Amino acid sequence: MLEVQSVSKTFNAGTPNEVRSLRGVDLQMAAGSWVIIIGTNGSGKSTLLNAVAGTFPVDEGKIRLAGRDVTRWPEHARADLIGRVFQNPFSGTSPSLTIQENLSLAALRGRARGLGWGLKGSLVARMRDEVARLNMGLEDRLHNAIGSLSGGQRQALTLLMATWLRPELLLLDEHTAALDPKSADLVIELTERVIAHDELTTLMVTHSMHQAASLGDRLIMMHRGQIIHDFQGAEKRRLRPDDLLARFEEVRRAEQLDESAAQMLVENYV
């Protein structure tokens, strides 16, 4: 389904601010799998997601999606295959448009847009049903501007929009990180329901060790632009939040060791 082949990306190359965000990342995802990505800050997990979405061109490597080489496709062209939910609840919706106008934009994700009427009766009827299923009481407020809603409500709607047309790949970028705990639980519950119901292939970045342990069928740990652990099958199912924290601690110690060893070398031999 998704094939990421030795993809590299360096930001600000050749400047003092050079950041090697991705260093030859390889990842194969089967159709219908749900892969969770965790990693320290700056490990490249969001960069990997954005590389797949096409936010920027990659420096090296290939990205294949649903049998097509999309490496050179611009972001808006890939939208035909990809549904996305961002970390910032304000990023996924258009604040001055109404709920139904936002949903009608999503109903044409990746398709040609002409002079057809945006809010057809049949579409609005389906909107009512789907929005009612969110259990947020928004089905009677379809005419309200989305900007007047809370972050949790907007994120739930963004998820609905991203999956309105079944995407080949769903990208979730820490989509509950900016929400209060109650809204986050609601959105996660909704996420599980949608992914199970539509049998979606999902790539999800999270900060929450609890989510990382309980969700998905495969877990990838990233560090410094590379994948350092890949847990699948039974191994993934056995993982507990504490195990993941222990792995992070390992990474941290190894790093300190590297740094102190390097320092010792500098002090004694240079």
Partner 1 sequence: MSLLIGTFTIGFILSLLALGVFISFRIFAFPDITADGSITLGACVAAILLVHGVTPPLASVAAFLAGMLAGACTGTLHTRFKINSLLSGILVMTALYSINLHIMGKSNVPLLSVNTLATQSERIGVKLMRGATRFNLAGWDVSVRDASVLGAIVLAVVLTGGLLYWFLRTNLGMAMRATGDNVQMIRALGVNDGNMIIFGLAISNGLVALSGALLAQYQGFADVGMGIGMVVWGLASVIIGEALTGTNQLGMTIIGAVMGSLLFRLLVAVALRWGLSPNDLKLITAAFVFCALIVPQFLRKGRQRSAHA
**Which pair of structure tokens corresponds to residue 203?**
């790539």
Q: CB–CB of 158/86 below 8 Å? A: yes
In terms of CB distance, is 24 or 95 closer to partner 1? 95
- Residues 6+ positions from 231 with CB-CB distance below 8 Å: 218, 219, 220, 221, 239
Residue 229 CB neighbour total at 10 angstroms: 16
Q: Which is nearer to partner 1, 82 or 219 (CB)?
A: 82
Name the strands in the sheet holding 60-65, side by side, starting at the edge strand that comes first in the sequence.
19-29, 2-11, 60-65, 68-69
Q: Which is nearer to partner 1, 41 or 96 (CB)?
A: 96
| Minimal distance, residue 33 CB to partner 1, in Å | 22
Pick between residue 117 and residue 269 the one whose CB is nearest to partner 1. 117
Tokens of 108: 């044409």
Residue (122 or 268) nearer to partner 1, CB? 122
Q: How many CB atoms lie within 10 A of CB 167?
A: 22
Q: How far is the CB of 200 from partner 1 (least distance, A)?
A: 16
CB of 115 to partner 1, least distance (A): 5
Which residues sit at the interface with partner 1, rule CB under 8 A? Answer: 53, 74-77, 79-80, 82, 84, 86, 90-97, 101-102, 104-106, 108-111, 113-119, 145, 161-162
Between the CA of residue 269 and those of 257, 258, 265, what are the distances in Å? 18, 16, 6
